[in-house]
Chain A
Amino acid sequence: MVDLINLFESMLRIRMVEETIAEKYSEQEMRCPTHFCLGQEAIPVGVSIHLRKADYVYSGHRSHGHYLAKGGSLKAMISEIYGKQTGCALGRGGSQHLNDLDAGFIASAPILGGTIPIAVGSVYSINSNVNDRVSVVYFGDGATEEGVFHEALNFASVKKLPVIFVCENNLYSVHSSFDVRQPKDRNISDIGPAHKIPSFRGNGNDIEEVMEIAGNAINTARDGGGPFLLEFMTYRWLEHCGPNEDLHLSYRTKEEMDEWLANCPIRLFENKLREKNILSDKIRVEIEEKISDEINSAFEYAKNSPFPDPQTLFNYTYPKN
């Protein structure tokens, strides 16, 4: 049985981490491009609930939620954003290059579609069914316009690899809306069947729907059922890159924004839990305090950590033999 309070807590944790980064971003100490996933918290949580530690997860530029939901270290992530030696990439990558190998979060990278084929290759095996590991890769709607997305789907299908392609369709690639970039009346989930990949589409702000769709796909892939393509509809609340709202840019309307804000994945789930008397004010406060403590200590750790020694600039250009 899934612990519903845990799910709620995971989403709230991502939300509060992002809000804290946004709040402190103006201090000018987190000096790297940072893409926030506020409003998109349900998808990584609904997917990760089905994943094991040994499963691989990959992501793109908007990756904080994916990393945290898979169990990536919060301290190492915050330190990385602060450019510190204690960061998950030793300050070499920043917010766009998260990794926590112990947690099975292999890599995020900001070039659109860049990690999609890597996720595919990492579950290639010369002894088929040598393990039942699955590989999950998250990407946005923009990445599905890259050729490499289609190349990766094709090869994953040819080899029947256990890859779950998870598209978070938030309707915008930077400031360009979906309708100027992709054909009318075609969903991204329509692309999978052309590659003989079973594909499903759902409300990405409804954690229960995400959980159900992702669970079927992951469990089937784990049993040798090949790749899946999942499209979850969602919405980015903040600007493409950075901690601010951006309605003043006029590329999207206030009405559209208000509609999605009303569809907040956390509030929707919270209302359900309260109706079922699973969540109370008291429990919520306890959860919030617990998360706050963790976040505060992560920021303190990051701020107090040293920067990489400039003498180590050339380190890691080439590995040792």
Chain B
Amino acid sequence: MRKIKYFEAIHEAHYQSMQADDNVIILGLGVPGPTGIFGTTKGLVDTFGKDRVLDMPSSEQGMTGVALGMTIAGYKPVMIHMRVDFSTLAMDQMVNQVAKWHFMYGGKMNAPIVFRMIIGRGWGQGPQHSQSLQAWFAHIPGFKVIMPTTAYDAKGMLISAIKDNSPVVIFEHRWLYNVDGIVPKDPYEVNLDKAKVMLEGNDITIVATSYMVLEALKAAELLSKHGIKSEVIDIRSIVPLDIDTIYTSVKKTRSLIVADTGTVNFGISAEIISRLIEMDHSLLNNLPKRIGLPFCPSPTSPSLAEKFFPRSKDIILAVCDILELDEKNVLVKESDSKHWHDVPDSSFTGPY
């Protein structure tokens, strides 16, 4: 089986989608440029031309409206923001126009736009380059919101998103870009409404989004050495949320941690826990825990960032507390390292 990296899987999805449908247009600042959005659009302009692989003015708001206009002409635009943070310049067009376009004209028009936005983390990305705003978009009826974690899903879900008639917002974590995985060469689709059980276990359910799935799997691996079997679920789709898969797991383990890349307060984890409790108030044997960003802006200095961004150690600590494990000190020691914590691995040397 062929293994390629996450960013290569996205590139392949773009290539195959544009080949299959002449109406697909990719636009964003630097999309046809020399680095091609961290390699995901690199060289596409040579095959598909500058009218379909479209560079644009630094006008996020205006160009989102332009993309919506393109749908009236029959095109299927994919708009890319190199950081989630930049999309905040486009909020009127995204929230007031695109998300409501189908509804507010009585279903007469669709807005089949894909928004790809990249979550930054580490290397001092700081307050305006590392926000993870999936909860914002999940709060707006009309958007589908997805967060592919694996290279396989990155390709299949992007292909599905481009074919979808709804506007789809895709959050891609920058720390996933160099992670490889098995990816079939031919085009394929992955449903946009299903969570995936990444690891089966009976002791505790760890529900995670995007990069936090990798941290959860790392935590689960260490825990399993001490006899604790975690069930790890990759949510994949924030809207619509596959609560049934999560419910089934928690019904089995009776213990729950939700680990999200975004701010904890008023976030994805709150929604998941609320829905579960609304379904069954006696579902949990112990208190659930939420892991995510603390309620302050993202700091730049590595010393502050280390405290700010959660990692597997935090998940292990939460498991120890929930299950009242005696091995807490040993586990925490084993899970921690003295390396810099502001890069996913040593291959990242900044500045990205």
Contacts and interface: CB of A to CB of B under 8 A. Distances in A.
B277 interface: no
B112 to A, nearest CB: 8
A318 B142 contact: yes
Contacts of B107: 90, 315-316, 319
A126 interface: yes
Contact of A93 (B69, B105, B110): B105
B10 to A, nearest CB: 22
A150 B166 CA distance: 28
**Most chain B CB neighbours (cut-off 10 Å) among A115, A316, A321:** A316
B141 interface: yes
Interface stretch (B37-45, B54-62, B200-208): B54-62
A121 B69 contact: yes
A126 B52 contact: yes
A114 B97 contact: yes
B108 interface: yes
Interface of A is mostly: loop
B92 interface: yes
A121 B67 contact: yes
B104 A93 contact: yes
Given A97-B105, A119-B69, A317 B141 contact: yes
B104 A117 contact: no
A179 to B, nearest CB: 26
A89 interface: yes
Contacts of B59: 148, 151, 154-155
Interface stretch (A8-16, A65-73, A105-113, A224-232): A105-113
A119 B141 CA distance: 24
Interface string A71-94: 000000000000000011111110
Contacts of B69: 117-124, 135
Most chain A Cβ neighbours within 10 Å, of B63, B72, B92? B72
Contacts of A56: 72
Contacts of A92: 103-106
Contacts of A123: 69, 73
A116 interface: yes
A116 B65 contact: yes
Given A56-B72, A122-B69, A124-B69, A151 B96 contact: no
A118 B103 contact: no
A125 interface: yes
Contacts of A316: 102-103, 106-107
Contacts of B96: 109, 111, 114
Interface in B96-124: 96-97, 102-110
Contacts of B49: 126
Given A111-B97, A147-B61, A317-B142, A121 B66 contact: yes
Contact of B106 (A87, A124, A127, A148): A87
Given A90-B106, A92-B104, A118 B68 contact: yes
Most chain B beta-carbon contacts within 10 A, residue among A88, A89, A92, A117: A117
Nearest to A130: B73
Contacts of A126: 22, 25, 49, 51-52, 75
Identify the interface centre among A89, A114, A121: most chain B CB within 10 Å of its CB: A121
Contacts of B144: 318
A114 B70 CA distance: 15
A101 interface: yes
B65 A319 contact: no
Nearest to B111: A319
B165 interface: yes
A211 B66 CA distance: 28
A315 B106 CA distance: 9
Q: How large is the interface on A (under 10, 10 to 19, 20 to 34, 35 or more residues)?
A: 35 or more
B300 interface: no
B85 interface: no
Contacts of A152: 62, 65-66
B93 interface: yes
Contacts of A321: 163-166
A321 B51 CA distance: 27
Contacts of B103: 92, 316-317
A150 B64 CA distance: 14
A147 B73 CA distance: 24
B292 to A, nearest CB: 27
A197 to B, nearest CB: 14
B106 A91 contact: yes
Contacts of A135: 69
Given A106-B72, A318-B142, A120 B66 contact: yes
Contact of B70 (A87, A93, A122, A320): A122
A307 to B, nearest CB: 14
A158 interface: yes
Interface string A197-232: 000000000000000000000000000000000000
Contacts of A147: 61-62
Given A56-B72, A92-B105, A154-B59, 10 more contacts: A89-B106, A107-B105, A111-B92, A125-B51, A147-B61, A148-B62, A154-B57, A155-B56, A316-B107, A318-B142
Sort A-B residue pairs by CB-CB distance and give the 8 closest, nearest first. Answer: A121-B69, A117-B65, A151-B62, A90-B106, A121-B66, A151-B59, A122-B69, A316-B107
21 contacts: A89-B105, A101-B108, A106-B109, A111-B96, A114-B65, A115-B65, A116-B62, A118-B68, A118-B69, A121-B72, A121-B73, A122-B72, A125-B51, A147-B61, A148-B59, A148-B62, A152-B66, A155-B62, A317-B141, A318-B144, A320-B165
Interface of B: 22, 25, 49, 51-52, 56-57, 59, 61-73, 75, 92-93, 96-97, 102-110, 141-142, 144, 163-166
Interface of A: 56, 87-93, 97, 99, 101, 106-107, 109, 111, 114-128, 135, 147-148, 150-152, 154-155, 158, 315-321
